[in-house]
Chain A
Amino acid sequence: MNFIFRRKRISGILTVVPAREQSFVEDMKNFNFSESRSLKLKEVMGYDKHRIVEPGICVSDLAVFGLEHLFNRGLLNRDGIDALILVTQSPDHFMPPTSNVIQGRLNLKQDMLCLDINQGCAGYVIGLIQAFLLLEQESIQKVIIINADVLSRKTSPKDRNSYPLIGDAAAITVVERDAKESVVYANLKMDGSRNNVLMIPAGGFRLPSSPATAVLEEVGDNNLRAKDHLHMDGSAVFNFVQVEVPPLINDLLRHAGKAMNEVEYFFCHQANRFMLQKLAEKMKVPYAKMPSNIVEHFGNSSGVTIPTAITYNLRDRLIREKFKVCLAGFGVGLTWGAMLLNLGDVYFSDMIEYG
């Protein structure tokens, strides 16, 4: 599905990462694998360090911390927020919506829209699409998108398929109308028939959490995981990305009338370095144009890896310069989406630590 948005822009990005850092070398002690096998994997996949929250920390804690940071520095006006979109798979509660919890904790105005979206690795593109749609309303001048997840709390430390790469983080993106004649292109696809490839089987109404769903089970490849934990079929996800994402980006560029070499950066969701390098090779994009350095420093924080990659790699260059970038997210759902836009001239582009 193609989208076109006119005169809309990103005007600021802030990434919040937990101060607690865990290393792959420490994680290795939890796995039933030889040290040499784990170290080979570290080199190929880019596992090194990942940021995870302390026990009990929730998505709203990271979001409120980040928004207070912006309010206190005069980078964002508390009363200027007309819509707050939270994209997360790890809400504070089933009900109420966590976006309302954030609104309440920050004493934001009542004349606004709060909206939770249950999305993951494609959640940055999904959040932007939703924000641009809302900006078609005259009453909405400024939308805040919060991408946030604390999925380390739902990941088995004895599951080598997921634990070493998982990261917790939040990103706050401000979206508003652009006085210039800018155009944003997006392309989005979904396939719910493959919904079981990435899932947390227990804890919802279909299979409520119980003592039985908390029991660690041998799930192949010497990994131990409970039904309460995140399950990721790594091979299926890898194949999905390699098959579906290159045509998605090609379609997007064709729709926009742009060539691959006109794009200065491809900020793709970072599941692991190997996956992105194979994607870059397939698309004939130089590795330098498709940064893959987030997993090794911060871990895979699902929908937050794209804004993390932007703020980490471009930092305050984004305040002074403008770049033609392609964003691409892919994961749970299954969902895959890409967006082409001019990114820059923002009020802020920064990373801060929580805790």
Chain B
Amino acid sequence: MKTVAEILKEIRPEFDFATSKDFIADGMLDSFDVVTLVAMLDKNFGISIQGVDIVPENFKNHETIEALLRKSGYKQ
């Protein structure tokens, strides 16, 4: 199973996601990258992120993404 960091790197290899607190505001993820990310998170973690949760605030940084994974039923 891949980590969130590995998935982000796969989508946008040109960015260092460890240094940003807001991937959206910093221009590292656009709206279509978020769609790709959701599809990869669903598949990788065996979950289904709800459509209503696909909003920019949930994809700002590692903490918000991990909170979304927990909300979507993923248990570490």
Contacts and interface: CB of A to CB of B under 8 A. Distances in A.
A255 interface: no
Interface stretch (B15-23, B51-59, B61-69): B51-59
B31 A281 contact: no
B29 to A, nearest CB: 10
B54 A239 contact: yes
B25 interface: no
Which of B31, B32, B36, B52 lies at the interface centre, i.e. has the most chain A CB atoms within 10 A of its CB? B32
B11 A40 contact: yes
Contacts of B54: 238-239, 242, 278
A242 B50 contact: yes
Given A37-B11, A235-B56, A281 B33 contact: no
A215 interface: no
Given A160-B32, A221-B32, A281 B51 contact: yes
Interface in A273-307: 274-275, 278-279, 281-282
A352 interface: no
B51 A44 contact: no
A175 B36 CA distance: 41
B6 interface: no
Contacts of B55: 235, 239
A45 interface: yes
A234 B36 contact: no
A106 interface: no
A41 interface: yes
A41 B36 contact: yes
A161 B55 CA distance: 17
Given A41-B32, A221-B31, A274 B50 contact: no
Contacts of A243: 52
Interface in A236-251: 238-239, 241-243
Contacts of A281: 48, 50-51
B5 interface: no
Nearest to A45: B35
Interface residues of B, number: 18
A254 to B, nearest CB: 20
Interface residues of A, number: 24
A239 B55 CA distance: 8
Contacts of B52: 239, 242-243, 282
A235 B53 CA distance: 11
Nearest to A272: B35
A235 B31 contact: yes
A292 B32 CA distance: 19
Nearest to A278: B51
A167 B36 CA distance: 22
Interface in B23-52: 30-36, 38-39, 48, 50-52
A221 B30 contact: yes
A218 B32 CA distance: 17
Contacts of B30: 220-222
B33 A274 contact: no
16 contacts: A37-B12, A37-B36, A40-B11, A40-B36, A44-B36, A45-B35, A221-B30, A234-B31, A238-B51, A239-B51, A239-B54, A242-B51, A242-B54, A243-B52, A278-B51, A279-B51
Which 10 A-B residue pairs are closest in the complex by CB-CB distance? A242-B51, A278-B51, A221-B30, A44-B39, A40-B36, A242-B52, A235-B31, A281-B48, A41-B32, A234-B31
Given A37-B33, A239-B55, 13 more contacts: A40-B36, A45-B35, A160-B32, A221-B31, A222-B30, A234-B31, A235-B34, A238-B51, A239-B51, A242-B50, A274-B38, A275-B51, A281-B50
Interface of A: 37, 40-41, 43-45, 160-161, 220-222, 234-235, 238-239, 241-243, 274-275, 278-279, 281-282
Interface of B: 11-12, 30-36, 38-39, 48, 50-52, 54-56
